[in-house]
Amino acid sequence: MRAKRRFGQHFLSDPRILARIADALGAAAGDTILEIGPGRGGLTAELLARAGRVVAIERDRDLIPDLRARFPRLELIEGDALDVDWAAAVGGAKPWLLAGNIPYNITSPLLERALTPPRPARIVFLVQAEVAGRIAAAPGTKDYGALTVGVQSAAAVERLFSVPAGAFQPPPKVDSAVIRLTPLAAPLVADADIARVRRLVVGLFGFRRKQLLRGLRELTGWSADAVAPVAAAAGLDPVARPETVSPDGFARLARALVDAGWGAEYPS
């Protein structure tokens, strides 16, 4: 079965790499795993060897018959992972784990979905190496940005190991990396405030190399005298650059802004 470009398919078959990915998930015999895009079933076989139950979502209907034939214990759902109800797919299992060699073109929406309640206990994704670097970046580095803040506000991030393009068939044009996300018991941002904080973070990163004071003025339309106390209330230096503010700093800043009246015209 040839890979289909429209589905962003790049099949990984190296047994050592597949085993390392499955091991990174840390599944036990009683666990339920949801796999995004089993493809030809390389990772699926490793997951089934470790967990009591594996549910997989596959969009390519041409791959379904072979997967069913090879893995009778696999619970296979034909559909788009962005459309399927993941909580319903795992049948209310708690805890549950999430894994997948995910298509590069839908990495961001899959990450957002993975970190939206009800969250899995652990997530292991194979992603584009550049994206892995951005997700795991530290404040003040060139890779640090809105994606970093969004993910790190909800999960602890580990960049585990790289996977060369030559390990895939067909080879992608870039290298990949495996990341492990462990959702925080207490996310930095309340679920009801995610949209507001995202608007703040994306807006300020539009001024990432400007002083925080200027970015806040541009974003809120307030005067310098009005935004300076907000930055102080959040424990932030008003002359710092947005690219140096930690995820926790953005969460504090969002709360201080709301307390000062920002965003009242927007739903949370």
Rounded Cα–Cα distance for residues 171 and 102 (Å) = 15
CB 160 within 8 A of CB 133: no
Query: Taking CA 102 as the corner, what is the angle to CA 97 and CA 106, rounded to the nearest 5 degrees?
Result: 115
Tell me: do 120 and 204 sit in the same domain. no
Q: DSSP readout, 246-261?
A: -HHHHHHHHHHHHHTT
The domain boundary, picked from 134, 150, 183, lies at 183
Average pLDDT over residues 9-24: 89
> Residue 264: inside a domain, yes or no?
no
Tell me if 251 is assigned to some domain: yes
User: Is 267 contained in some domain?
Assistant: no
Q: Are residues 17 and 70 in the same domain?
A: yes
Q: Are residues 17 and 79 in the same domain?
A: yes
CA atoms within 13 A on the CB side of 34: 27
Q: What distances in angstroms separate CA 3 from CA 55, 102, 225, one per listed residue?
A: 22, 14, 58
Look at residues 183, 207, 230 and tell me which one is the last residue of a structural domain. 183
Both ends of the chain: CA-CA distance in Å? 46
Domain end among 183, 207, 237: 183
Could you report the per-residue pLDDT of 171-217, keeping only the tens digit for each? Answer: 778 899 999 999 999 999 998 889 889 999 999 999 888 999 999 99
Find out whether the peptide bond into 171 is cis, omega within 30 degrees of 0. no
Range from 90-94, 135-139, 229-233, 246-250 carrying the lowest mean pLDDT = 90-94
Helix, coil or strand: residue 77: strand
Cα dist. 145→12, 18, 139, 197, 228 in Å? 29, 30, 8, 13, 23
Residue 160 and residue 255 in one domain: no
- 245 and 174: one domain? no
Structural domain includes residue 117: yes
Residue 57 lies in a domain: yes
- Domain-located, residue 212: yes
Same domain (yes/no): 128, 216: no
Q: Which residues contact 63 (CB under 8 A, 6 or more apart)?
A: 1, 38, 39, 40
Sign of CA dihedral 244, 249, 250, 254: negative
Residue 103, pLDDT score: 83
- CATH code at position 226: 1.10.8.100
Mind listing the pLDDT tens digit for each residue in 164-180?
Answer: 998 887 777 889 999 99
Residue 105 lies in a domain: yes
Count of CA atoms in the C-beta half-sphere (13 A) of 32: 16
> Over the stretch 215-242, which tens digit does the pLDDT of each residue have?
999 999 999 999 999 999 999 999 999 9
Q: What is the model's pLDDT at position 266?
A: 44
Residues 97, 123: Cα–Cα separation, whole Å? 6
- The total of structural domains in the chain comes to 2
Distance in angstroms (rounded) separating the CA atoms of residues 234 and 168: 46
Looking at residue 268, its pLDDT comes to: 43
Determine how many CB atoms are found less than 10 A away from the CB of residue 106: 17
Range of the domain at 94: 5-183
CATH number of the domain encompassing residue 20: 3.40.50.150
**Where does the chain have alpha helices with state H?**
15-25, 42-48, 64-70, 86-89, 107-114, 129-135, 146-152, 194-205, 212-220, 224-233, 247-259
Per-residue pLDDT, 173: 84
Quick: pLDDT tens for 39-74: 889 999 999 999 999 999 998 888 999 999 999 999
Instruction: Tell me the average pLDDT of the chain.
Output: 91
Residue 174 sits in the same domain as residue 195: no
Residue 267 pLDDT exceeds 50? no
150 within 8 A of 204, measured Cβ to Cβ: no
For residue 262, the 8-state DSSP code is T
